[in-house]
Every structure is written in C-alpha cells, then in structure tokens.
Amino acid sequence: MVEVRSMADLVAGLGIIRESPADLGTIELIVRRPETNKREVLDRAELDLDRGLVGDNWLVRGSRATQDGSAHPGMQLNLMNARVIELIAGPRENWPLAGDQFYVDLDLSADNLPPGSRLSLGDAMIEVTDIPHLGCRKFIDRFGLDAAKFVNSEEGKLLNLRGINAKVIKPGCVNTGGIIEKL
C-alpha cells in the first residue's frame, strides 16, 4: 500500500529533485510490463529498435495516440526521475506501480533534455521524443490526486516530473545500476 503524500510534502521535496545530475546519472530500476498491470523488475534488459524494451507490452498494447491504435513510436520507452518517484511512492518496491520502464537519477527537465536529446544507457542509445508524459487516471488511483496535480503542474511539466517518452535509436543491453549519460 502506497502512503499518499500531501501537496505540501511533495513541494517540499523539489529541492532534492532539482539536485539530480544533469549529464551523468544512474539507472536505478528497470521494469518490464509483460501485460497490462503486470510488472517485472529486471537486473538486465535488452533494447530493440522495433520492440523497445524486449518483453514489454508496448508494441502489442498499442496507443490511443495513433489513428489506427497501433503502438506510438514516440512512446516506446518511459523514463522517470528516481528522486520524483521516491518522493511520490516511497519505498522502491512501490516504484513499478507508476508504469514506467526506467527510473533514473538524472535531470529529465525540458531545459536539460529537450526533444531530440540523446542518452546512452549501457550500450544502447535512446532519443527523447516530443510526446508529453503526464499523470493519468491510474496514476491518481495509485498515488493520489495531489501527486497528479504535482507532476502535471506548470512547474512539474517544465521539470518533466511525470517523466519523458523516448525511442530506441541504437539497440543494446542495459543494467540496473548502470550509467545513463546525456550525449
């Protein structure tokens, strides 16, 4: 059970979030979603140009953001700042509930990583897309209305507190505890 944080508690944590490294960080947690509402925490993952995170349901799940309901190529991967999810969800075992695949200690703000920015993760490379990643109904149900308002606030959007979308541009393997680097 996740302890729902108040807006005051969330806002008080902004200082720590703003201290996230800008260029070189760590991959704190990798989560694969084999089925809707199922999560697998991984020590090692493979990124593929066509499938995204291998074994994740992104490709077969599809998207409401495409006309034909197919998977949106700009939403292949979701990354969230580990400091943000820790503030919102508490212990690491609660993090996968957010539904992202990578939880990283890196500044994901729009100023630091505008669309088109490239990141290396292990021997893979990804590119930040221009598709916003915002808190949805499931996020509210799991973490509370204040958490959704916090990540979707004007400041939350500038800092990309809910995270960012990305796509694989060079396949490779990624390890939990590995390096994520802004290129």
SS3 label, residue 49: coil
Nearest one of 178, 16, 30, 162 to 92, comparing CA atoms = 30
Using an 8 Å Cβ cutoff, are 46 and 136 in contact?
A: no
- pLDDT for position 67: 81
Q: Is residue 1 part of a domain?
A: no
The CB density around residue 76, as the number of other CB atoms within 10 Å, is 26
| pTM as predicted | 0.95
E strands of 33-163, at which residues? Answer: 40-42, 44-48, 52-53, 77-81, 102-105, 118-121, 124-128
Q: Is residue 129 part of a domain?
A: yes
Q: Is residue 115 part of a domain?
A: yes
Q: Is residue 2 part of a domain?
A: no
What is the span of the domain harbouring residue 89? 7-182
Using an 8 Å Cβ cutoff, are 138 and 162 in contact?
A: no
| Tens-digit pLDDT profile for residues 127-164 | 999 998 876 788 999 999 999 999 999 999 999 999 99
Using an 8 Å Cβ cutoff, are 161 and 81 in contact?
A: yes
Q: Which residues of the chain have pLDDT under 50?
A: none
Using an 8 Å Cβ cutoff, are 118 and 169 in contact?
A: yes
Give the amino acid at 163: G
Q: Is residue 110 part of a domain?
A: yes
Q: Is residue 118 part of a domain?
A: yes
Task: Count up the domains in the chain and report the number.
Answer: 1
Nearest one of 15, 30, 12, 9 to 159, comparing CA atoms = 15
CATH number, domain containing residue 25: 2.40.33.20
Q: Is residue 154 part of a domain?
A: yes
Q: Is residue 73 part of a domain?
A: yes
- pLDDT for position 135: 66
Q: What is the DSSP letter of 134?
A: -
